[in-house]
A and B are shown apart, each in its own frame.
Chain A
Amino acid sequence: MTLPMAQSVAAPVRTDSLLSIREVVKRFGTRPVLRSISLEVASGEFLTILGESGSGKTTLLRLIAGFEQLDGGEIWISGERLDQIPPHRRPVNTVFQSYALFPHLNVFDNVAYGLRAKNIAKTEIPNRVAQALDMVKMSEYARSSPARLSGGQQQRVALARALVNRPRVLLLDEPLSALDANLRRQMQIELKALQREVGITFIFVTHDQEEAMALSDRIALLRSGFLEQIAGPREIYGRPASAYVAQFVGQTNLLRADVQDGLARAGPLRWRTAETSKDVVFSLRPECIRLVTPAAPLQPADDSIARFRARILNQTFGGAMDTLELDCGSSQSLRARIASPGTLSGEHEFEFRASDAIAVRDEESS
């Protein structure tokens, strides 16, 4: 296995960079959790740290908050060294996964906690708390005990409690994972709207790739302590840097192709490519495969469209889109997602554009 290129995939330093994470290393005992992570977070950005459990995403967040100490590297915030400041003096606030509301304080006192800790003028506190509660639509619950609130309401209070301090960066540790699916979608929309409204930089940790794509300006995908790719949702989906990214973000077909003279071959499939190396892995999204209708034009001679016949092994109805399992022969199978064509069976002709087959780095095969 070759080393994933942690440094090389880091985004170039942006001029509007607010938070700068530089070659950060963290070990628990002898077990490395983060191995040289570098990334820049822009002011006002919604950055999602995406990864499966154990990828180090929560550890990275806890390092920024100051709950863990670095074993290497530096964290800077607008030209100031952040990692040497104790957590209670950092200009960042956290929304915890389990909300961590103080059970002995009511909603108002929970939200006022940070203001009181920072000795904000007593006369100013009620106004700012009221504003924050209003922002998350929880004004009428100011006197309630957190224990009496539903999960979604506790979530809102936790947001207000963090945002009332006007942090430079808001850290959110899987804040929606405890909510049921419907509430979760609703909170996603509200969260995104809230972030636009307050203009505060959000760093959002999740293992849910759909959530990441729905919310983020950029996604940083972590994999066992390495930064696999950092890019906007459309780019990370459309141009995944590695086979891992392609599989983790959405579904994909991985085609192990033999490239010769600008032509890639995988089983009976062949298409034009600009790749020059011999063995290349391509990612082909299921929705890029189309059913060829009798009305379709003839296949162009330049292999810019790959056409093939395939047997339908399985068809799963999915409402607007059906999922097809295709057998193309030569033990090459594909998954296709196409607008509901009615029930299909037997052999049909399919096609995809050569430009939709994206060459990806694949450390397992090399």
Chain B
Amino acid sequence: MYSRAYKSAVTIPPLLWVTAFLLVPYALLFCCSFWSVSPQQTIIHNWNLQNYLQLIRNPIYLSVLFRSMRIAGAVTLLALLLGYPLAYFLSFHAAKRKDLLYQLVIIPLWASYLVRGYAWKTILGSDGVLNGLLQYLHITRHPVEFFLYSPFAVVLTLTHIYTPFTFLPIYASLEHVPRNLVEASHDLGASPWSTFRRVILPLSLPGVLAGATFAFVLTLGDFLAPLLVGGASGIMISNIVVSLFGAAYNWPLGAAISLCMLLLVLSLLFATERLERKLTLS
């Protein structure tokens, strides 16, 4: 079919790219995670498992990891609760306004992540929009401090940022539900609610799974939102990695955490893919 030259021309550049900018760095990261740092702040190449042992022994790392997973779980849940009904409404009931509403959901994605992060900072701060409103309405007397610099603020910001990512695959899967199946269900005597539960929801589960995976994985690796609105109590695992590679200058420990995170995310993706295949085949 295709000439050898053509095949090489299309496959070799991307392979080189992935090797140079993905596989080699991962290999370096992998090696680095078994090295250590000397008291003089230089990296010494004595191979050992100290970094990994430290991750298990020092409770701070595990507790921040669990907090990150809790935040990621909360964001995933909220994004699904917001994204699914929206996608359902758009796909089944929006009729002529479908395209407009779809654009309205997509447009926030064009705005810079930082802009959206700072926007929440302005809204939630002690002299921010929300506290101003609450005081103006005499609901509170003093600014509420926990709005900003808390896990709550991180969850709120990340839910806002990642809900479109959850919405999109759900919307796509709902659009792919054949409408004559919905009619067939009504025809066979199933009420609208029963039709949703027994036909629409099962057929859109692959989209739900993909959307949930997006929200969870993207949140788990996020470090900007905690930096902007998280404060001390909202620190996530990626913030620790950032500081280890930066101010703390402990690349080996940072590399070890990164690899653990990578493994965690990969096994999650593997599991959801297996589940999705099972859902679509049955």
Contact of A117 among B178, B183, B189, B282 (CB under 8 A): B189
A67 and B183 in contact, given A102-B199, A104-B202, A104-B282 (Cβ under 8 angstroms): yes
Task: Assess whether A113 is in contact with B185, with CB atoms less than 8 Å apart.
Answer: yes
Contact of A93 among B188, B199, B282 (CB under 8 A): B188
Among A66, A67, A118, A145, residue most surrounded by chain B Cβ atoms (within 10 Å): A67
1/0 contact trace for A85-117 toward B, CB 8 Å? 011110011101010111110000000011001
Among B190, B195, B202, B203, residue most surrounded by chain A Cβ atoms (within 10 Å): B190
CA distance A98 to B191 in the complex (A): 22
A113 and B282 in contact, given A67-B183, A103-B203, A104-B203 (Cβ under 8 angstroms): no
Chain B residues with CB below 8 A from A102, complex form: 181, 184-185, 199
Task: Assess whether A98 is in contact with B180, with CB atoms less than 8 Å apart.
Answer: yes
A117 and B181 in contact, given A104-B202, A104-B203, A104-B282 (Cβ under 8 angstroms): no
CA distance A241 to B146 in the complex (A): 83
Contact of A100 among B181, B192, B203, B282 (CB under 8 A): B181
Counting CB contacts under 8 A, is A161 at the interface? Answer: yes
Chain B residues with CB below 8 A from A66, complex form: 186
Counting CB contacts under 8 A, is A249 at the interface? Answer: no
CA distance A67 to B183 in the complex (A): 7
Contact of A165 among B185, B189, B192 (CB under 8 A): B189
Within 8 A of A (CB), among B149-191: 178, 180-181, 183-191
Counting CB contacts under 8 A, is A65 at the interface? Answer: yes
Task: Assess whether B181 is in contact with A88, with CB atoms less than 8 Å apart.
Answer: no
Minimal Cβ-Cβ distance residue in A for B188: A114
1/0 contact trace for B193-204 toward A, CB 8 Å? 011001100110
- B277: shortest Cβ distance to chain A, in Å? 14
Minimal Cβ-Cβ distance residue in B for A113: B188
Chain B residues with CB below 8 A from A114, complex form: 188-190
Task: Assess whether B188 is in contact with A96, with CB atoms less than 8 Å apart.
Answer: no
CA distance A165 to B194 in the complex (A): 17
Contact of B184 among A89, A94, A104, A118 (CB under 8 A): A94
Tally A-B pairs: CB < 8 A. Answer: 67
CA distance A162 to B185 in the complex (A): 11
Task: Assess whether A113 is in contact with B178, with CB atoms less than 8 Å apart.
Answer: no
Minimal Cβ-Cβ distance residue in B for A86: B186
Contact of A161 among B188, B192, B199 (CB under 8 A): B188
Contact of B183 among A89, A100, A103 (CB under 8 A): A100
Contact of B178 among A67, A88, A100, A118 (CB under 8 A): A100
Minimal Cβ-Cβ distance residue in A for B184: A100
Chain B residues with CB below 8 A from A117, complex form: 185, 188-191, 194, 198
- A234: shortest Cβ distance to chain B, in Å? 33
Chain B residues with CB below 8 A from A104, complex form: 199, 202-203, 282
Task: Assess whether B282 is in contact with A65, with CB atoms less than 8 Å apart.
Answer: no
CA distance A148 to B202 in the complex (A): 19
CA distance A59 to B219 in the complex (A): 49
Minimal Cβ-Cβ distance residue in A for B282: A104
CA distance A102 to B183 in the complex (A): 11
Task: Assess whether A100 is in contact with B189, with CB atoms less than 8 Å apart.
Answer: no
Among B186, B187, B190, B191, residue most surrounded by chain A Cβ atoms (within 10 Å): B187
Chain B residues with CB below 8 A from A162, complex form: 187-188
A93 and B180 in contact, given A102-B199, A104-B203, A104-B282 (Cβ under 8 angstroms): no
- B50: shortest Cβ distance to chain A, in Å? 51
CA distance A87 to B192 in the complex (A): 10
Within 8 A of A (CB), among B242-282: 282
- A13: shortest Cβ distance to chain B, in Å? 28
Contact of B189 among A65, A67, A88 (CB under 8 A): A88
1/0 contact trace for A299-339 toward B, CB 8 Å? 00000000000000000000000000000000000000000
CA distance A179 to B213 in the complex (A): 41
Among B180, B181, B184, residue most surrounded by chain A Cβ atoms (within 10 Å): B184
Task: Assess whether B187 is in contact with A88, with CB atoms less than 8 Å apart.
Answer: yes
Minimal Cβ-Cβ distance residue in A for B187: A94
CA distance A88 to B181 in the complex (A): 13
Task: Assess whether A96 is in contact with B189, with CB atoms less than 8 Å apart.
Answer: no
Task: Assess whether B181 is in contact with A118, with CB atoms less than 8 Å apart.
Answer: no
CA distance A89 to B195 in the complex (A): 13
Chain A residues with CB below 8 A from B282, complex form: 104, 145
Chain B residues with CB below 8 A from A101, complex form: 184
20 pairs, CB–CB < 8 Å, chain A vs chain B: A65-B187, A66-B186, A86-B186, A87-B187, A88-B186, A88-B187, A88-B188, A88-B190, A88-B192, A89-B189, A93-B188, A101-B184, A102-B185, A103-B181, A104-B202, A114-B189, A117-B188, A117-B190, A117-B191, A165-B188
Beyond contacts A67-B183, A88-B189, A117-B191: 20 other A-B pairs, Cβ-Cβ < 8 A, are A67-B186, A67-B187, A86-B186, A87-B186, A88-B190, A88-B192, A88-B195, A94-B187, A96-B180, A100-B178, A100-B180, A100-B181, A102-B181, A102-B185, A102-B199, A104-B199, A104-B282, A114-B189, A114-B190, A165-B188
B interface vs A, CB < 8 Å? 178, 180-181, 183-192, 194-195, 198-199, 202-203, 282
